[in-house]
Structure 1
Amino acid sequence: MELSPESPDFVTALARGIEILLVFSREKPELTLSEVSALANVAPATARRSLLTLQALGYVRSHGRRFVLTPRVLKLSASFLSSMNLQEVANQYLQDVVDQTGDSSSVAVLDSGEVLYIASVSSKRSVRLTAGLGTRYPAYATSLGRVLLAYLPPDRLDRYFAETDLRKLTEKTVTDPTELRAILAEIRAAGVASIQDELDYGVVSVSVPVFAESGAVVAAVNCSTSPSRISREEMLASRLPLLQVTSRQISETLRHNPALVHSVLGY
């Protein structure tokens, strides 16, 4: 059910409070009232009331003129993680992938045009980018994201392209919508995506979809490493069979966790 902001059931104050929590980031961990107001696109008075309420609830702290999130915000994600048993569902299989390949391995879902990591096991090798629970990257520049985009219904894919700023993250990042659509069609036909140096230089990865019992794609699982270890072509050939097994294992486990499927299908 999609609720429009004009609906009488839509709680504007709650929505603004959540939006204000989301304007804080790694790049901007501390913000003034005016910066929060501008980033959240709300009036200064609204930003002030929201910040003071969040501060009273313990989610925000102020020092001088600046505001910063507190560790209590982790309770919001902790509730989801504990109720959905994400680690128990995926990490045992991801660890097997890491043990057999030396790559990192993750599971992600699609959220607001980005891939959102919901389970991840890192290799002990030094890698260019690391991903943990809650990490987000642009979907179009990742193998995980391209798998998830490839299986979107046509109307949702059209909306994605209409709403997404396709920026070059490296010289190799594909940003042309026509070319991306062609790549997504190939991924859907083959059931696998691979990228190299598109999200960042020195990153190569392969991903496959994770299916619910209904046949809907609910997530994607990947291997990622450095191209200095293995080429994109070699990785695609050697990791694909293992990832397909891992996908089936996670899918089978999801049959016994319907709440998790219902949760991620909304993405």
Structure 2
Amino acid sequence: MANVQKDPEYLSTLERGLSVLRAFDDQHPEMRLSEVAAVTGLSPAVARRCLNTLVALGYVAQHDRNFLLRPEVLAFGSAFHSSMHLEQVCVPPLQGLRDETGDSASMVSLAGKDILYLAHVSTNRRIRLGVNVGTRFPAHATSMGKAILAFMPDADIEAFLATAPFEKFTEHTVITADAMRARLKDIREKGYDSAFDELDFGIVSVAVPVFDASRRAIAAVNCSTSTTRISQEELIASRLPLLHEAAAEIESALRRWPSLAFALKADSAT
């Protein structure tokens, strides 16, 4: 970021405004000015100017002393989905996975040290972690995150590992650089990853990478379900062939829409 900010074309005011929009989440659905300043690290004066501008543009509303997002912000996400043909590319294969297995099926990309959900087809079965398009989870604790990381350039993997130890969610979470390095090596050899109670208890998943035309992993797809419904071994054996078929279908679609493949390509894991 420091190098970017030296670029004379870089607009720090735009960065601040976007940081204010991103400050609102499920933990902060409404915030006062002081809270926005604390979450973003901006001064109250700068945060106030950003909020007032966003209110004027219709992206933020003010209710008494609280600020909250307005539905207009959904235009950003829908523009990406429509312009990049995400519905055509990944939803049909994921729906096929869900219909055949009864599992939830998802596709994510890597966003810094997180995975970012691009599409999610759920079931009526309840899983502890709610997921929607735009949901983020730490990559190190998910099968999809590790499935992407394992096939990234070695330099990017080492840059990611340099931030260890990682947050521990359960006793099964991989938190050390050495353990993660070994896990990624194993994934690269097998071609998939499976997580059992790593992000939260009661969830088992299996994921495979999605490659672009240059064979770089730019996304991952998975099946996930409750640990009480199926064993990890059975999940891998029965779902892996279906996941490879879905990934191949998505890769074929990406060749028709190369702009999406370019948009999904992560520059690095840092």
Q: TM-score range by the shorter chain?
A: over 0.9
Deviation at 1:265, TM superposition (A): 1.0
1:164 to 1:118, Cα distance in 2 relative to 1, 3 A: farther
Aligned to 1:146: 146
Determine helix, strand or coil for the equivalent of 1:110. strand
**Are 1:109 and 1:115, in contact at CA under 8 Å, matched by a contact in 2?**
yes
Give the counterpart letter for 1:53 in structure 2.
Answer: T
**Are 1:206 and 1:223, in contact at CA under 8 Å, matched by a contact in 2?**
yes
Determine helix, strand or coil for the equivalent of 1:245. helix
User: Matches of 1:166 and 1:210 in 2, distance apart?
Assistant: 25
Gaps of 5+ in 1: none
Written as runs of structure 1 = structure 2, the 5 A alignment for 1:57-96 is 57-96=57-96
Deviates more, 1:160-169 or 1:34-43: 160-169
- How high is the TM-score relative to the length of structure 2? 0.94
User: Matches of 1:150 and 1:237 in 2, distance apart?
Assistant: 21
Over the aligned positions, Cα root-mean-square deviation in angstroms equals 1.5
Aligned to 1:190: 190
User: Matches of 1:92 and 1:102 in 2, distance apart?
Assistant: 15
Deviation at 1:145, TM superposition (A): 0.5
1:206 aligns with 2:206: yes
Deviations 1:159-201 (A, max 9, x none): 2233466111122212122101110111111110000111111
Deviations 1:77-100 (A, max 9, x none): 111011011111111111111111
**Are 1:210 and 1:220, in contact at CA under 8 Å, matched by a contact in 2?**
yes
User: Matches of 2:139 and 2:164 in 1, distance apart?
Assistant: 10
Deviation at 1:31, TM superposition (A): 1.1
Determine helix, strand or coil for the equivalent of 1:255. helix
Written as runs of structure 1 = structure 2, the 5 A alignment for 1:1-267 is 4-163=4-163, 166-266=166-266
Deviation at 1:155, TM superposition (A): 2.3
Number of residue pairs aligned between Structure 1 and Structure 2: 266
Gaps of 5+ in 2: none
Determine helix, strand or coil for the equivalent of 2:28. coil
State the identity as a percent: 45
Deviant stretches of 4+, over 6 Å: none
**Are 2:147 and 2:187, in contact at CA under 8 Å, matched by a contact in 1?**
yes
Determine helix, strand or coil for the equivalent of 2:244. helix
